[in-house]
Structure 1
Amino acid sequence: MRLSSDEYMQISDLAKALHITTRTIRLYEQMGLVEPPKRTEGGIRVYENSDIKRFKFVLKLKALGLSLQEMKELAELYTREQLPEKIMPRLIELLDSHLNNIRKRTAQLQSLEKDIAEYKQKILDYYNLSS
């Protein structure tokens, strides 16, 4: 008998809905990124809409490039404060840090691209090759 409905889901249905594995769900619970779900008398995990919303937030943080440790920090802050005005300033700091790292990496890659193109052209010129 499936327990999933519009108001709650079992772990396999949650994993399918979020395009993640049940192992990932358990890991996030174990790490404290999400609260452990309620369970039936038989021990089956039951995820409510608030749990699903929290998982979506964690997955968004992951997509933004935050590390598991940074995600855990925000999860702990959320658990303590549960107020967006308390959480968002730290999230903005983390995102700014990631943006700076991306910009640095982009500059490095652009420089590498230029170096490779110049080196390729030198080889073509030296050996009278056409590209």
Structure 2
Amino acid sequence: MKIFYKIEDVAKMVGLTKRTLRYYEELGLLTPPERSEGGFRLYTDEHVERLKKLINARDVLGFSLQELQQYVTMSEEFINQRDEIRQTEDAGLRLQKIDELEQTVVKQLELLDQKLEKMKNMRSEISQLKDRINEAKKKYKQE
């Protein structure tokens, strides 16, 4: 039996506002939930889990909404490809599908590498600023 949650319950569970949940749905980051007879959104555990993954990618990885959309698309692509592999009997076709799956994972790694490179550059700039501050402090301590 599926358990359904109202939008306010999901918002509390994941720490987002109801407005953000509707916006994520509008952007395609979250699949539209079923509706009650009264038109209320009815979310499932799958919606909650997906939101937790999105929040994790946003917070831990610092993804923008555009990057989140790319991430979600690649994650869905991965799941679909994995399911196709499981349903394929032919060894040659299976190997081809595994190659496609690998390419999806490579794209995910490239997205993460781009984010890491930006973070390294930013860290380097701040580190250089800290070095200049330390030099200024030394200069004034000597006077």
**TM-score strictly above 0.5:** yes
Superposed CA deviations along residues 65-106 of structure 1, whole A, max 9, x for unmatched, are 111111112333445563364754332221111111111111
Superposed CA deviations along residues 29-67 of structure 1, whole A, max 9, x for unmatched, are 111111111110101111011111111111111111111
Gaps of at least 5 residues in structure 1 are: 1-5, 127-131
What residue number does 1:82 align with?
79
Verify the 8 A CA contact 2:74 2:108 in the aligned structure 1: no
What residue number does 2:127 align with?
110
Gaps of at least 5 residues in structure 2 are: 83-100
Q: Percent identity?
A: 31
Instruction: State the aligned residue count.
Output: 121
Q: Per-residue deviation at 1:25?
A: 0.5
- TM-score norm. by structure 2 comes to 0.75
Q: 1:65 aligns with which of 62, 86, 90?
A: 62
Greater share of helix: 2
Map 1:1-131; keep pairs closer than 5 Å.
7-63=3-59, 64-79=61-76, 82-83=79-80, 85=101, 88-126=105-143
- TM-score norm. by structure 1 comes to 0.81
| Aligned CA-pair RMSD | 2.0
